[in-house]
Amino acid sequence: MKTVIDAIAATVDRGGTLTVAGIGSRPDTVASWAELHDRARRLATTLAGHGVGPGSRVGLLGDTSVGLITAMQAVWLRGAAFTVLPTPGRSGRHAHLAHLLAVAADAAYDLVIVDDDLAGIADELQPAVAVRSLRELLAVPAPPAEVVRPAAGELAVLQYTSGSTRTPRGVPVTHGNLAANLDAIEGALGRDCLDPATACWLSWLPLYHDMGLIGFLALPMSRSCPLVLQSPTTFAMRPASWLERLAGHRATSTGAPNFAFGLMAQLLESAGDTDLSSVRLLFSGGEPIDPATMARFAAAGERHGLDPHAVVGAYGLAESTLAVTFAALGAGVTVDEIDREALELDGVAVPATAGRTSRQLVRLGRPVPGTSLRIVDVATGDPVPPRMVGEVEVSGASVVGGYWGEASREGAWLRTGDLGYLADGELVVCGRAKDVLFAAGRNVYPQDVEAAATGVPGVRPGGAAAFGIPADRGDRLVVAVESRGTDSDALRRAVAIAVAGETGMAPADVVMVRLGRLPKTSSGKLRRAETRRRYLAGELSDGLSPQPERSVR
């Protein structure tokens, strides 16, 4: 089997480079893939002196940097596995440290390597786990190490989900899983998009998230394709920096979750000369894709040379290493318009007809090579016919054998927890099974509620979360929205009217939340269960606690 390190070693002389954009006033750092691989082989020798070898697990904590990526390769060269640990974010220092300690205890790391910028956190991790400075390890003179070649079933990456639950779960990605998924992505997209002579990939996605680590680092790195990486911190501080880098580096491939395209649409509508004509592939994944957001982005981008057909809808999950499906290349965002009543009452995706209320959902394409997909009845597990809504299940060489610390279920169908259906062989996802609300005899999808809420002036794009509170006659709908203003009764009423008009379900409560206060994953996906927990605990917004009898109708 050809591992990712074998692929890297075989292609390092093809001439590609890695550019890591400097944060703030810091300059960019540039290294050829050949230089980086040589440094990694020397670092691997140093790591051997610290006991890192086959079967070892290493935590890597630091912002996006050439040094951090060098450490990833070095760990693989020793036949060991790593986790890229999340850097401090909106959750605060105490919550971040608690998360790191929980993950470290679960993974039982042999070593955690920390960037010097996070030295304070390193001190607090000890003595629970052995910690070493990345800068000091890189500074040790050492000869290049010989490559330790792992078997297909040995661990490559221990990816911790940041999903909707409070307890992180380890997803053990083997070398076989990783190689299979990288080959599948290349097979689906074609080799030309990774040609070092003509391609340049660019990303600001965090490396502790599967889309950033696998799709926008491991893939181009293992093909020696030119790559430009920004820190997610830079994007958060200045979203326009993404556009500037795309234009400045003449990037050909990039991607992000749906919320980022909403921000880019706003910027592009008022931007000056920003040439995006070089972009050939623009992936949207990591969270549900809103057709209206993507249509607005495509229209705004077209005025700056962006081909609207370059957008590719994607579906994936950490438990399948990353990629499961891609929409057809060159088709842009394609929409399946279905009868809303048939979907909500009967769970059937009937094409909409004139005069009927409809719902638009994005087609996410067919499975990548080597991956199988089916839709099954949630209760029985039996496959259902096309256009019947059920749970999405996947299988294939990229699918992991189970969660870390649990019994292996390798080869079985993986239950994703997502609801969807097949239309002409293409996957369409409706939402998460656990998030669907039930009221008045129908299923209401939170994405519909959130889309209606974010369409209200004053609500931040992507800044709405809908969830249910069980009641005697079905779920009570609560909507939390981020707004720059204070708790405005007028805005609350506007959101309630918009939601009721769009979904037929009036909110029992609309809660105003400060910007950045809605719980989200590292990829920007809403954590609805955590939002609900905070609401019930009175922690969601300043001075606003749940008021079950309050009505905004």
Name the domain boundary from 380, 401, 434. 434
417 and 290 together in one domain: yes
Is 246 a domain residue? no
CA distances to 52, 86, 316 from 170, in Å: 20, 14, 17
Q: How far is CA 166 from CA 89, 109, 288, 485, 546, in A?
A: 15, 21, 21, 29, 21
The DSSP secondary structure of 222-233, one letter per residue, reads HTT--EEE--HH
Between 442 and 303, name the one with better pLDDT: 303
pLDDT computed for residue 105 by the predictor: 92
Digit-coded pLDDT (tens) for 508-517:
999 998 888 8
**CATH number assigned to the domain comprising residue 506:** 3.30.300.30
Please state the rounded mean pLDDT for residues 432-458. 86
H-assigned helices in 78-218: 93-107, 119-125, 134-139, 175-189, 210
**352 falls within a domain:** yes
pLDDT on residue 424: 96
Both 179 and 288 in a single domain? Answer: no
420 and 493 in one domain? no
Higher pLDDT, 87 or 72: 72
Same domain, 424 and 322: yes
Per-residue model confidence (pLDDT) at position 166: 54
| Residues spanned by the domain of 207 | 4-237
Which among 123-127, 133-137, 232-236, 489-493 has the top mean pLDDT?
Answer: 133-137
Q: How far apart are CA 75 and CA 78, in angstroms?
A: 5
294-321 mean pLDDT: 96
Same domain, 151 and 291: no
Question: Is there a single domain that holds both residue 37 and residue 159?
Answer: yes
pLDDT of residue 486: 56
Return the CATH number at 200: 3.40.50.12780
Per-residue confidence (pLDDT) for residue 523, from 0 to 100: 65
Q: Are residue 229 and residue 299 in the same domain, yes or no?
A: no
Mean pLDDT over 383-392 rounds to 98
Whether 470 shows a pLDDT value over 80: the answer reads: yes
In this prediction, residue 170 carries a pLDDT of 96
Question: What pLDDT was estimated at residue 473?
Answer: 67
**pLDDT at residue 165, as a whole number:** 45
Residues 34, 179: one domain?
yes
User: For residue 253, which phi and psi values (nearest 5 degrees)?
Assistant: -140, 135
Tell me: do 62 and 147 sit in the same domain: yes
pLDDT value at 543 more than 50: no
Q: Which of these three, 383, 417, 434, is where a domain ends?
A: 434
| pLDDT of 98 | 86
The CB density around residue 142, as the number of other CB atoms within 10 Å, is 17
Domain membership of residue 244 (yes or no) is no
In 3D space, the residue among 432, 361, 341, 436 whose CA is nearest the CA of residue 391 turns out to be 432
408 with 469, same domain: the answer is: no
Residue 249 in domain: no
What average pLDDT does the segment 389-394 reach?
98
DSSP string, 423-469: ETTEEEEEEEGGG-EEETTEEE-HHHHHHHHHTSTTEEEEEEEEEEE
Kindly tell me if the per-residue pLDDT of 364 is higher than 90.
Answer: yes
Of 83, 16, 117, the closest CA to residue 404 belongs to: 83
pLDDT for 124: 87
pLDDT for the residue numbered 549: 40
Which amino acid belongs to residue 301? G
Residue 392: closest CA among 354, 355, 420, 356: 420
Residues 515-544, mean pLDDT to the nearest whole number = 79
Question: Does residue 547 fall inside a structural domain?
Answer: no
Model confidence over 133-177: pLDDT tens digits?
Answer: 999 999 999 999 999 999 999 999 999 975 444 567 899 999 999
pLDDT band at 78 (very low <50, low <70, confident <90, very high): very high
CA-based nearest residue to 453, from 548, 385, 531, 353: 531
pLDDT, average across residues 92-119: 89
Given a cut of 60, whether residue 208 has pLDDT beyond it is yes
Number of structural domains (the chain) is 3
Assess whether 123 and 203 both reside in one domain. Answer: yes
Q: What is the pTM of this model?
A: 0.87
pLDDT average, residue stretch 6-13: 92
Question: Domain ends where: 384, 419, 434?
Answer: 434
Q: Per-residue pLDDT for 471 more than 50?
A: yes
Band the pLDDT of 91: cuts 50, 70, 90.
low
Q: Given this model, what pLDDT does residue 487 score?
A: 59
pLDDT in tens, 412-428: 899 999 999 999 999 99
In a domain, 148, yes or no: yes
- Our CA dihedral for 104, 285, 233, 40, rounded to 10 degrees, sits at 60
CA distance 30 to 102: 35
Distance CA 324, CA 306 (A): 26
Mean pLDDT of the chain: 91
Mean pLDDT check: name the lowest of 20-24, 163-167, 241-245. 163-167
CB-based contacts of 484, cutoff 8 Å, min separation 6: 458, 460, 515
Regarding whether 20 and 37 lie in a shared domain, the answer is yes
* Digit-coded pLDDT (tens) for 331-345: 999 999 999 999 988
Range picked from 61-70, 444-453, 456-465 for highest mean pLDDT? 61-70
Residue 467 falls within a domain, yes or no? Answer: yes
Residue 542 is assigned to a structural domain of this protein: no
Instruction: Check residue 479 and give its pLDDT.
Output: 95
**pLDDT at site 545:** 38
